[in-house]
Amino acid sequence: MGRLTGKCAVITGAGSGIGRASALLFASEGAKIVAVDLTEAAIDETAQMVRDAGGEITSVAADASDEPSVKALIDLCISKYGALDVLFANAGISGGLVPMEEQTVEYWEQVLRVNLIGPFLAIKHGSPAMVKQGHGSIICTASVAGLRANAGGTPYSASKAGVISLVQTSANSLYGTGVRVNAICPGLIETGMTKPIFDGARARNVESKIGQLNPLARYGVPVEIANMALFLASDEASYVNGQAMAVDGGLSSSLPFAPSRRGA
C-alpha cells in the first residue's frame, strides 16, 4: 500500500519543477491526481510521465490565481475522483530583483495575485469539501525568502511571507474541522524559476559555489521538496498543522556568515 493510496489530490504549478516532481511522487504512492499548470504543453507532458509510470492523472491548463478556475478544479477533482484529500497550492512566479524605486505597483499586484491570492483561493474553495468529509491536507509553497531577507526580490519575499501567515491563520480558522494547512519553505532549488542563477553560474564555471551558504553546502532538487509535500499530504503528518517547514539545507538556521571548511 502506498502512503497516499485512496487519496485524491490537486497540484497546481505541476507543469515543471517542484509541482511535476510532486505529481510523479504522489501518483507513485497511490494518489489520483488533478495536475494544473498555466501552460498546456507542460502539464500534458507531466501527465504523460505519470501515466507512463502507471499513475492515474487528469491534466488541466488553468490559471491557479483565477477564482472561477480554482473552484472548477476543485469541482473536477470531486466529480471525477469522488473526494478532495490533498490540495498542493504550489504555483508561483519569481522576480522583483530590481531596485525598490524601479518596482511598479502593477508588478507587485501580479506577484501577489499568483503567489498569495492563488493559495488563498485554494484554501477558500478546497477547505469546504475537506470540512464536510472531516479531514484533508492543504499545502502551500512559501519560501525561505518569506522567513529572512536577501533570499529573493522584495515583492516575491513579501508574497511568501504572506503565504506563511496565510497557513497559520487558515489553520486556526479551520479549528476543530480535521483539515490541516501547512507551508513548505524551499531554499535554493534547481527549477525553471531559478534557471538564470544556475545558467549564469555554469557559464562562469562556478556551479560548485551554488548553495554554499547553507550547512549542506549544496543546492536542492525538486524531489527533495516533493518528499516534504508527500509527508504533509500523508497521514504520517496527522498532527502537523499551521507550520512553515523549511527545506533549505539549513540556510534559515543561521545569520549570514563566511563559510569555512572543516579542518581548513
> How high is the pLDDT of residue 123?
98
C-alpha cell at 205: 564555471
The verdict on whether 156 is a catalytic residue reads: yes
One digit per residue, pLDDT tens: the chain, 264 residues? 699 999 999 999 999 999 999 999 999 999 999 999 999 999 999 999 999 999 999 999 999 999 999 999 999 999 999 999 999 999 999 877 788 899 999 999 999 999 999 999 999 999 999 999 999 999 999 999 999 998 889 999 999 999 999 999 999 999 999 999 999 999 988 787 777 777 777 778 877 778 788 899 898 999 999 999 999 999 999 999 999 999 999 999 987 766 666 544
> How high is the pLDDT of residue 194?
72
Q: Where are the domains of the chain?
A: 8-190+220-249
**C-alpha separations of 137 from 9, 54, 127, 178, 181 in Å:** 9, 24, 9, 9, 6
Q: How far apart are CA 211 and CA 248, in angstroms?
A: 9
> How high is the pLDDT of residue 127?
98
63: region left, alpha or beta (phi > 0 left; psi from -120 to 50 alpha): beta
**CATH for 8-190+220-249, options being 3.40.630.10, 3.40.50.720, 3.30.450.20, 3.40.50.970:** 3.40.50.720
Beta bridge partners of 89: 140
Q: How far apart are CA 254 and CA 245, in angstroms?
A: 16
Q: Which of 81, 107, 156, 219 is labelled catalytic?
A: 156
> How high is the pLDDT of residue 261?
61
Q: How far apart are CA 214 and CA 210, in angstroms?
A: 10
C-alpha cell at 134: 472531516
Buried b (16+ CB within 10 A) or exposed e, 85-101: bbbbbbbbbbbbeeeee
